[in-house]
Amino acid sequence: MNLTELNRIATAMVASGKGILAADESSGTIKKRFDAIGVESTEANRRDYREMLFRSKEAMSQYISGVILFDETIWQDAKDGTPLIRLIEESGAIPGIKVDEGTQALPMCPGELVTVGLDKLAERLKKYYERGARFAKWRAVIDIGSGIPSMTAISVNAHALARYAALCQAAQIVPIVEPEVLMDGDHDIDRCLEVTQRVLNKTFQELRVQRVALEGMVLKPNMAVAGKKSAKQASVEEVAEKTVRMLKACVPAAVPGIAFLSGGQSDEEATAHLNAMHKLGPLPWGLTFSYGRALQAAPQKAWSGKAENVAAGQRAFSHRARMNGLAAKGEWTNSLEKKAA
């Protein structure tokens, strides 16, 4: 393992003013997104949609440091025969790959999930590296509800995350370690903070036990936010202050960067929260976005599966990428949103 090189990639993934495009929706998830815009989820449509994103010159060259791909996409070619992964490399962004194989019910723990995909992972990583992937992603899912999460769910998911991360580093691939605490419930921000803190602490404990080099990874956490169904929503300032406090308490400064998931926040909330955190700086690690929905909802709507809308889709994507790029430096303002709209 070449840790200097892993650290160089991890640092580039969280370069100032840039963040990660999570375009790694599984077949089931992209179908849901396409259903919402009335587009059939065929292989060709998925290719056309992602080709549109990766050919968005302004976004890709200025605001996107890396792209997380789904297995299908990393082997797909653009319409003119260029591998999609080459489009990403040519834009200057780093290609990455989602390597977990989704979740399964966790035995003895009703309502809880464990992420699977460790079997044969070493072999798969080797193929992905040869294809050009320089980082990977594994997402663990922790739900908050009555009596959950259990310590069992937190432990097994942290263990799997660390197993995955160690295998990645051995394959010269930077692991994005993503323990996502869902924002689906009716809990308040303090409950989210308390659970996320437990999850992060257990995750870093496992990473150490399994000898993962913190200098060669990126953390992808949720922010501390109230559940979507909570009557008590927190202000932008409260989310920023509590999230930064939580991360400072849990994430060693050896970690080069933290890149948030959006998790169901609205586009502008996700941007405003990241921006507000940078107002609290200086921070011990790079802090940026690794958004799926909060970067793609607008371009998906603008595109709606029509070739004549590709330019509009690219404009919508570039706009969100630019807003988040500014937020990643604390330079975003609400009026920039209004001006563009």
Q: x/- string (CB under 6 A) for ligand 13P, residues 162-191? A: ----------------x-------------
Least separation in angstroms between residue 303's CB and ligand 13P is 17
Task: Determine the length of the chain.
Answer: 341
What does the per-residue mask of binding to ligand 13P show for 2-41, with x meaning CB under 6 A?
--------------------x-------------------
How far is residue 136's CA from residue 101's CA, in Å, rounded to a whole number?
Answer: 13
Cα–Cα distance measured from residue 323 to residue 292, given in angstroms and rounded to the nearest whole number: 15
Per CB under 6 A, contacts with ligand 13P among 294-323 are 294
**C-alpha count within 13 angstroms, C-beta hemisphere, residue 44:** 6
- Considering only 262, 275, 314, 318, the residue that binds ligand 13P (CB under 6 A) is 262
Rounded to a whole number of angstroms, the minimum distance from the CB of residue 80 to ligand 13P is 28
Is residue 220 part of the annotated active site? The answer reads yes
- 139 part of the interface to ligand 13P, by CB under 6 A: yes
Binding to ligand 13P (CB under 6 A) within 102-121 occurs at none
Q: Which of 178, 202, 206, 242 is catalytic?
A: 178
CB of 2 to ligand 13P, least distance (A): 26
Rounded Cα distance between 141 and 80, Å, is: 38
C-alpha span between 278 and 285 (Å, rounded): 11
* Residue 224 DSSP one-character state: -
- 77 or 143, CB closer to ligand 13P? 143
| Residue 70 contacts ligand 13P per CB under 6 A | no
Token representation of residue 81: 């025969």
Residues 167/102, Cβ–Cβ less than 8 Å: no
Give 5 or 243: the residue with its C-beta nearer to ligand 13P: 243
Two tokens, residue 273: 């929260």
Q: What would the DSSP string read from start to end of 54-116?
A: HT-HHHHHHTEEEEEE-HHHHT-B-TTS-BHHHHHHHHTPEEEEE----EEEPTTSTT-EEE-
Q: Which one of 185, 216, 221, 263 is in contact with ligand 13P (CB under 6 A)?
A: 263
For the question of residue 178 being annotated catalytic, the response is: yes
- Degrees to nearest 5, angle at CA 263 with 258 and 267: 95
Stretch that binds ligand 13P, among 105-113, 117-125, 259-267, 323-331 (CB under 6 A): 259-267
Binding ligand 13P by CB under 6 A: which of 291, 303, 317, 332?
291
- Size of site (CB under 6 A) for ligand 13P: 10
Distance (Å, rounded) from C-alpha 232 to C-alpha 245?
Answer: 20
Q: Which is nearer to ligand 13P, 294 or 298 (CB)?
A: 294
Smaller CB separation from ligand 13P, 51 or 178: 178
d(CA 165, CA 121): 11
From the list 189-197, 223-231, 286-294, 316-324, the region that binds ligand 13P by CB under 6 A is 286-294
β-strands 218-219, 174-181 pairing: parallel
In the complex, the residues that contact ligand 13P under the rule CB under 6 A are 22, 139, 178, 261-263, 291-294
* Catalytic positions, written as ranges: 178, 220
